[in-house]
Chains A and B, each alone.
Chain A
Amino acid sequence: MAEERRPKQCTVVLPTESMKAMAESIGVGQLQEESCAALSEEVSYRIKEIAQDALKFMHHGKRRKLTTSDIDHALKLKNVEPLYGFQSQEFIPFRFASGGGRELHFYEEKEVDLSDIINTPLPRVPLDVSLKAHWLSIEGVQPAIPENPPPAPKEQQKAESTEPLKVVKPGQEEEGSIQKGQGAISAEAKGKKEGLMRMKPRSTHELSVEQQLYYKEITEACVGSCEAKRAEALQSIATDPGLYQMLPRFSTFISEGVRVNVVQNNLALLIYLMRMVKALMDNPTLYLEKYLHELIPAVVTCIVSKQLCLRPDVDNHWALRDFAARLMAQSCKTFSTTTNNIQSRITKTFTKSWLDEKTQWTTRYGCIAGLSELGPDVIKTLILPRLTVEGARIKAVSEGPVVSNIDKIGADHVQSLLLPRPTLTVSQSGIGGSGGSRSPSIIKVPSSLTLMSTRPGTPTQPSPPATKYIVMATSAGASSTQQVLDGSLVITLSSSSGSSVTSTVASATSTLQPLVKLESRAASGLGGSRPLQKYIVVSLPTSASSSLESKSGMLPPSSSSTSPISLEAGMKMDHTGCVPNGTLLPI
């Protein structure tokens, strides 16, 4: 019935101290405690009464916000002089002061210099009230014009995708059309044939010319070379309300793009596409569930694919894997239900390929990264028991006969991912206050960092040019507040330097040291959420890789172990494992 609401209404009374303060302000000195109590009850009652009357004026004024004029009118009803001229720029104009054990709120009245007022130019005259007519509906269908709100709110998209049967079944046509709201109604009467028409997803919907232009611009900007444009485009994807009609196109764009670029080992483009996924997921008005069957395979591909770049030994594809793993975890969190079981299916996929003896180190890394993002439970049940086995495997690679450079790097990364390090506890304590749910990333971040600084015995590798990684300190700071930015790609410093496995330990530590401090500060300010796990280092496509991009079909000289065919096979396995709705398109 009514138990859940209604807090203790009758007990809310102004504190007696306020009465005292008010009495003092009008020159009444020592007020008895009893009179204060009596006064405060009386005053509270009157204030409530006035507020209730003021509410009437708000309702009749057709507003949702109570204004000071409502209070004035309510006072007038009670034959009380209204508080003329009470207005304030701020929501609560009171200032707080305390001293001598007393607290006081007062109304700040600044001294005003008249000459200032006289000399300031007059403010612009506010625009006059005007009338504007538009079509809210034309014969039952709401036209998509700027005057009308975006056509389908998220709940409706959700209703459509989660209860598609309602729309489809002819017997339930009427109810379905109500779910759909406008648009379908006029069609409803035209019989079951129309009902079948409606079964078709909205992808058959024609886009207006403007939408087509928008789509073209956005996709071009997203994969183009201008970083500023890309940021703008991603921002647009993440915030614009009216994109749902283009959603099928975007999702196809992404999945096709991943398919092509994985084959071509075009790391940069894969990164861009993942950023698009991230932006789509960030858009509060979009309901992605319908398109997960395209997006999830693409994302998983970017996590576990054997090869993502032309030069696996140099390029930082690890960061892409990490990023995609985080995306995967996010979508698991958002969309996993008992019916589609995304999380468990994804987990199974990762586990399966991880357990496979023949799995490449890159895929291995992706699987572990993906699993570790899925939460402490997964880590506990799936990763920890495997640690010893994995450790032996790593040992075999690092200490055994030199098989291949790439294997070694891969093993290193897996190790760095898995190794809990003494410094872990230190940095964890710094962050630990902000929330306990971060374990996977916590394990990862500091361990990889310490890995760098404490592992002098790593084999020396040709260090990549220092200019390749641009550490954006500002973005790291900002990322604590802006999820989008931290999502904007790329490469965690830890893994980047890990991939390069620096030859000179001293230099690595020196560049890393200041960043450690930065992180702990930013992370503690974060308050429990997980966005900031790593330093954001934006990697610009290196001249080398960009030149390779242009010669896209070429096989990388250094990638010895992977061939396109095996890659393809690996991907297939990924996809079959992770399809949410069982309607996966074969890649």
Chain B
Amino acid sequence: MAAVQDGQLNLEVEKDIKTEITNDGSGNINANSSSPGSTSSGGKSKSPAGSGEDQQTLLAVLQFLKRNKLTESVDILRREAGLSADADDSPVSESAGAGSGGVPSVGADGGDANSLLSRVSIATPVAPPATAPPKVVAASGGEDQPDVNVVLSAYSQQGDPVLYPLYYNGLKKFIESVLDCHRAELSQVFYPLFVHMYLELVYNNHENEAKQFFEKFSGDQECYYEEDLRILSSMSKKEHMKGNETMLDFRTSKFVLRISRDSYQVSCLGKPEMSRSLWQLTITYRMLSYQLLKRHLQERQNNQIWNIIQEHLYIDIFDGMPRSKSQIDAMSGSLAGEGKRDANKAKVFYGLLKEPEIEVPLDDEDEEAENEEGKPKKKKPKKDSMGSKSKKQDPNAPQQTRIPLPELKDSDKLDKIMNMKEATKKIRLGPDNLPSICFYSFLNAYQGLTAVDFTDDSSLIAGGFADSTVRVWSVTPKKLRRVKSAADLSNIDKESDDVLERIMDEKTASESKILYGHSGPVYGISFSPDRNYLLSSSEDGTVRLWSLQTFTCLVGYKGHNYPVWDTQFSPYGYYFISGGHDRVARLWATDHYQPLRMFAGHLADITCTLFHPNSNYVATGSADRTIRLWDVLTGNCVRILTGHKGPIHSLAFSPNGKFMASGATDGRVLLWDVGHGLMVGELKGHTDTIYALKFSRDGEILASGSMDNTVKLWDTLKAFDDVELDDFTAATGHIHLPENSQELLLGTYMTKSTPVIHLHFTRRNLLLAAGAYNP
């Protein structure tokens, strides 16, 4: 039953420490930030001269020499001086070193192409450009994100602030002048360039220039970046950059762009016919094109842009046709650009685990029996699918024992039998046969309802409230009862048949119970599958496990130091996931007070968490507008899904585990193919944040509930059928989204000023919805 080997636990602890180091780094800025500033101002005075860059580099060296008592600074110095070849002994940050490795070489040599070539090729082994993406590792937060100190000093490079708008304009004109098919792809560069140029201006204390730059060009940016721009605009002083999370995100992570090879060449040269032939060749030639790009930009005196591209952008080059504007728009929008294509290459076992065989006429058959008769999944045991289809193990399913799962208890088996019996009465849904919706309104909640969950058998409802309470209701005639006190329990005849009935205290029977314990609003809530436990996560930074037998708190899991936005039980119980403001998702087991896994990589708050139906994967949605899928076994991030234009607030897996739906503040539902890591659909219709998503028990209908007081039903069967997945789209991930959300919409149901914050399909496919009435 013990879930994970100790070795891995240690690893986790180590990673934990690393993230802490990162945090310390942010503290360091305070100490060091003054000196880079002075350096830069020195640099500024000389920069108008042609050899300014040399001077600047020297100044930087001098400055670091002054401080060389600090080991950190030495590291920085190495990187800054372009000694990345020696720097491979520095464990701090490979990728960061690689990223900045090219920069000094660019800055250092004036126009000497030969020396440049040699420099770049030195750097090559460390950072083969665009070919070997930095491996995305779990807890990569520590490694992926360089020291904040480094981050800030990276901005000490600068040119004449007056020229920035000129540079930007020059590029804008250049891109506007290229062929139509390339324009859309190349214009992706605008936003990250804009951000970094602005930040550079701010960092170098050119407050007014920065403001002008912002006012001049912020209007050009895509509207879905509005939120970030708002944060940026408020940042007008160097001091502000210290602790600003969004700033750190921009600095610590490279903005990922996908550009087709053709377009990239265009951007390199501005002369497609020349470059196309060159580009087909080997890596040497690729170096050459970098050089040519540099030369091209130098001709236009666009050093700044080149530096930024080198330093802060990750350009993911693919072969094939350039993408259209709509294709790009579909995928962009996240805080750090699109996911790298290679990030989604790992195999994901999205199939379902075999269900242990249980005879319906109950006999104590061994639950480990290999005779797999039927139910493809606990949630979805179908009578009609008995027999042939699911006899075989799903080829896409993970091994049964890939993750240690808790053994079935007798009560679980009973529950499964109940489940199967219910499932036989299940209504088959479809466009012609829409589900009935039963709405549970929370009255007198005074806007305090923050989270709702139903048990799988729909017998209990729990609500988390802003007043720190958790309330549990029974929606069946069966009342909630507490177990008797220890003294009373000792008097019970343990041999009697109805001992389970006898231990309950009849005097405590009531329709609802209140659980007190949190000291802040309860943002996440989740029932265990066996209905014995309830999890709640709160603003106070804890996750609490409650017993539904005694209605008391059993454990408070402390690990998150900041608000925990969501928590979710595994469909098999025992494990649970939590995620919050600290950007780290933690995987816990109920009997460990420390997390088993920490999934770090998101660049902003984790806003929602969800287990894959086979419990081997965990999906997290974040305010950085990406969804990540994590492998529970290895802790790796196996999918990065971009495309949402706002913080993601709801996730749902289809019952067969193959598809995922996500809803965000932008009011759109996106559908994903988990196996391919592709967006396969976009459902437009809601006008406000989508807080609830749920697939029907057979996966035929997706229900979405939103802040705009509606429940909408979507035909997912059709949505997934319409997607044609040939090899090419699967390989490149550039899919043409069918514009059919109106056809897929099966129904819209307005509530009476009640935002829908949870949805649940009962085992018979009745849809339950819940929300607080806000008159």
Query: Hey, which bits of chain A sit against chain B, CB under 8 A?
Result: 1-3, 5-6, 8-11, 41-42, 44-45, 48-49, 52, 56-57, 59-65, 67, 69, 73, 77, 126-140, 142, 147-149, 153, 174-175, 178, 181-182, 185-186, 188-190
Given A129-B463, A135-B437, A136-B769, A5 contacting B223 (CB threshold 8 A): yes
> In the bound complex, how far is the Cα of B446 from the Cα of A181, in angstroms?
30
Nearest chain B CB to A526 CB, angstrom units? 33
Q: Does B159 contact A (CB under 8 A)?
A: no
Q: Does B492 contact A (CB under 8 A)?
A: no
Among A8, A126, A148, contact of B446 (Cβ-Cβ < 8 Å): A126
> In the bound complex, how far is the Cα of B233 from the Cα of A135, in angstroms?
47
| Interchain CB contact under 8 A, A62 and B520 | no
* Binary interface encoding of chain B residues 77-96 relative to chain A, with 1 for a CB under 8 A from any of its CBs, else 0: 00000000000000000000
Nearest chain B CB to A190 CB, angstrom units? 8
Tell me which of B132-140, B168-176, B667-675, B741-749 binds A. Answer: B741-749
Of all chain A residues, which has the CB nearest B711? A136
Q: Which residue of A77, A129, A130 has the most chain B CB atoms within 10 A of its CB atom?
A: A129
Nearest chain A CB to B62 CB, angstrom units? 30
| Interchain CB contact under 8 A, B745 and A130 | no
| Interchain CB contact under 8 A, A182 and B749 | yes
| Interchain CB contact under 8 A, A3 and B219 | yes
Neighbouring A residues of B221 by C-beta, 8 Å: 1-2
Segment 470-520 of B: residues with Cβ below 8 Å from A: 471, 473, 475, 512, 520
Neighbouring A residues of B434 by C-beta, 8 Å: 137, 139-140, 185-186
| Interchain CB contact under 8 A, A60 and B234 | no
> In the bound complex, how far is the Cα of B240 from the Cα of A44, in angstroms?
11
| Interchain CB contact under 8 A, B437 and A62 | no
| Interchain CB contact under 8 A, B665 and A131 | no
| Interchain CB contact under 8 A, A182 and B233 | no
Given A62-B691, A137-B437, A129 contacting B442 (CB threshold 8 A): yes
Among B438, B446, B649, contact of A134 (Cβ-Cβ < 8 Å): B438
> In the bound complex, how far is the Cα of B150 from the Cα of A461, in angstroms?
100
Kindly list 18 other residue pairs between chains A and B, CB separation below 8 angstroms, not including A62-B757, A129-B471, A131-B441.
A1-B223, A57-B563, A59-B689, A69-B521, A129-B444, A129-B449, A129-B463, A131-B475, A131-B512, A132-B440, A133-B440, A134-B438, A134-B441, A136-B711, A136-B751, A137-B711, A140-B434, A175-B743
4 smallest beta-carbon distances between A and B, as pairs: A140-B434, A189-B432, A2-B223, A136-B437
Given A1-B223, A59-B689, A137-B437, A149 contacting B461 (CB threshold 8 A): no
> In the bound complex, how far is the Cα of B446 from the Cα of A69, in angstroms?
14
Given A42-B239, A60-B450, A2 contacting B222 (CB threshold 8 A): yes
| Interchain CB contact under 8 A, A10 and B214 | yes
Given A48-B234, A137-B437, A178-B742, A1 contacting B222 (CB threshold 8 A): yes
Given A61-B521, A185-B746, A185-B747, A139 contacting B707 (CB threshold 8 A): no
Among B436, B475, B748, contact of A182 (Cβ-Cβ < 8 Å): B748
Neighbouring A residues of B691 by C-beta, 8 Å: 62
Task: Report 6 cross-chain contacts, Cβ distance below 8 Å, ordered by A residue.
Answer: A52-B231, A69-B521, A129-B445, A131-B441, A137-B747, A147-B752
Of all chain A residues, which has the CB nearest B461? A131
Q: Does B647 contact A (CB under 8 A)?
A: yes
Q: Does B683 contact A (CB under 8 A)?
A: no
Neighbouring A residues of B475 by C-beta, 8 Å: 131, 133
Interface size on B, residues (CB 8 A): 83
Given A61-B466, A135-B438, A189-B432, A49 contacting B244 (CB threshold 8 A): yes
Q: Does B341 contact A (CB under 8 A)?
A: no
Among A45, A148, A182, A186, contact of B752 (Cβ-Cβ < 8 Å): A148
Among A42, A61, A64, A140, contact of B747 (Cβ-Cβ < 8 Å): A140
| Interchain CB contact under 8 A, B440 and A62 | no
| Interchain CB contact under 8 A, A130 and B443 | yes
| Interchain CB contact under 8 A, B234 and A41 | no
Of all chain A residues, which has the CB nearest B221? A2
| Interchain CB contact under 8 A, B769 and A61 | no
Among A8, A9, A138, contact of B436 (Cβ-Cβ < 8 Å): A138
| Interchain CB contact under 8 A, B447 and A65 | yes
Neighbouring A residues of B223 by C-beta, 8 Å: 1-2, 5
> In the bound complex, how far is the Cα of B707 from the Cα of A139, in angstroms?
23
Neighbouring B residues of A3 by C-beta, 8 Å: 219
| Interchain CB contact under 8 A, B237 and A137 | no
Q: Does B412 contact A (CB under 8 A)?
A: no
| Interchain CB contact under 8 A, B447 and A63 | yes
Nearest chain B CB to A529 CB, angstrom units? 30
Given A129-B443, A134-B439, A185-B746, A42 contacting B431 (CB threshold 8 A): no
Neighbouring A residues of B742 by C-beta, 8 Å: 175, 178
Q: Does B625 contact A (CB under 8 A)?
A: no
| Interchain CB contact under 8 A, A135 and B563 | no
> In the bound complex, how far is the Cα of B240 from the Cα of A42, in angstroms?
8
| Interchain CB contact under 8 A, A10 and B234 | yes
Nearest chain B CB to A2 CB, angstrom units? 4
> In the bound complex, how far is the Cα of B50 from the Cα of A554, in angstroms?
107
Neighbouring A residues of B520 by C-beta, 8 Å: 73
> In the bound complex, how far is the Cα of B439 from the Cα of A149, in angstroms?
13
Given A11-B211, A52-B231, A62-B707, A126 contacting B581 (CB threshold 8 A): no
Q: Which residue of B219, B234, B436, B755 has the most chain A CB atoms within 10 A of its CB atom?
A: B234
Neighbouring A residues of B752 by C-beta, 8 Å: 147-149
Nearest chain B CB to A393 CB, angstrom units? 58
Given A59-B647, A136-B711, A178-B742, A189 contacting B431 (CB threshold 8 A): yes
Neighbouring A residues of B226 by C-beta, 8 Å: 2, 5-6
Q: Does B617 contact A (CB under 8 A)?
A: no
Neighbouring B residues of A138 by C-beta, 8 Å: 436
* Binary interface encoding of chain B residues 517-546 relative to chain A, with 1 for a CB under 8 A from any of its CBs, else 0: 000110100000000000000010000000
Of all chain B residues, which has the CB nearest A146? B752
Neighbouring A residues of B461 by C-beta, 8 Å: 131
Neighbouring B residues of A140 by C-beta, 8 Å: 433-435, 746-747
Of all chain B residues, which has the CB nearest A187? B432
Neighbouring B residues of A136 by C-beta, 8 Å: 437-439, 711, 749, 751, 769
| Interchain CB contact under 8 A, B751 and A6 | no
> In the bound complex, how far is the Cα of B473 from the Cα of A397, in angstroms?
84
> In the bound complex, how far is the Cα of B473 from the Cα of A186, in angstroms?
33
| Interchain CB contact under 8 A, B449 and A62 | yes
Nearest chain A CB to B743 CB, angstrom units? 6
Q: Does B722 contact A (CB under 8 A)?
A: no
| Interchain CB contact under 8 A, A147 and B743 | no
Of all chain A residues, which has the CB nearest B239? A42
Q: Does B352 contact A (CB under 8 A)?
A: no
Of all chain B residues, which has the CB nearest A127? B444
Nearest chain B CB to A417 CB, angstrom units? 48
Among A8, A126, A148, A190, contact of B751 (Cβ-Cβ < 8 Å): A148
> In the bound complex, how far is the Cα of B448 from the Cα of A128, in angstroms?
12
Among B432, B745, B751, contact of A149 (Cβ-Cβ < 8 Å): B751
| Interchain CB contact under 8 A, A56 and B437 | no
> In the bound complex, how far is the Cα of B208 from the Cα of A258, in angstroms?
71
| Interchain CB contact under 8 A, B743 and A174 | yes
Given A3-B219, A182-B747, A185-B434, A147 contacting B233 (CB threshold 8 A): no
> In the bound complex, how far is the Cα of B711 from the Cα of A178, in angstroms?
14
Nearest chain A CB to B427 CB, angstrom units? 9
> In the bound complex, how far is the Cα of B42 from the Cα of A177, in angstroms?
69
> In the bound complex, how far is the Cα of B241 from the Cα of A45, in angstroms?
11
Nearest chain B CB to A217 CB, angstrom units? 24
Neighbouring B residues of A60 by C-beta, 8 Å: 450, 521, 523, 563, 565, 607
| Interchain CB contact under 8 A, B750 and A149 | yes
Q: Does B127 contact A (CB under 8 A)?
A: no
> In the bound complex, how far is the Cα of B746 from the Cα of A189, in angstroms?
11
Q: Does B279 contact A (CB under 8 A)?
A: no
Of all chain B residues, which has the CB nearest A151? B750
Q: Which residue of B233, B665, B707, B755 has the most chain A CB atoms within 10 A of its CB atom?
A: B233
> In the bound complex, how far is the Cα of B233 from the Cα of A45, in angstroms?
10
| Interchain CB contact under 8 A, B215 and A10 | yes
> In the bound complex, how far is the Cα of B219 from the Cα of A140, in angstroms?
44
Neighbouring B residues of A69 by C-beta, 8 Å: 466, 521
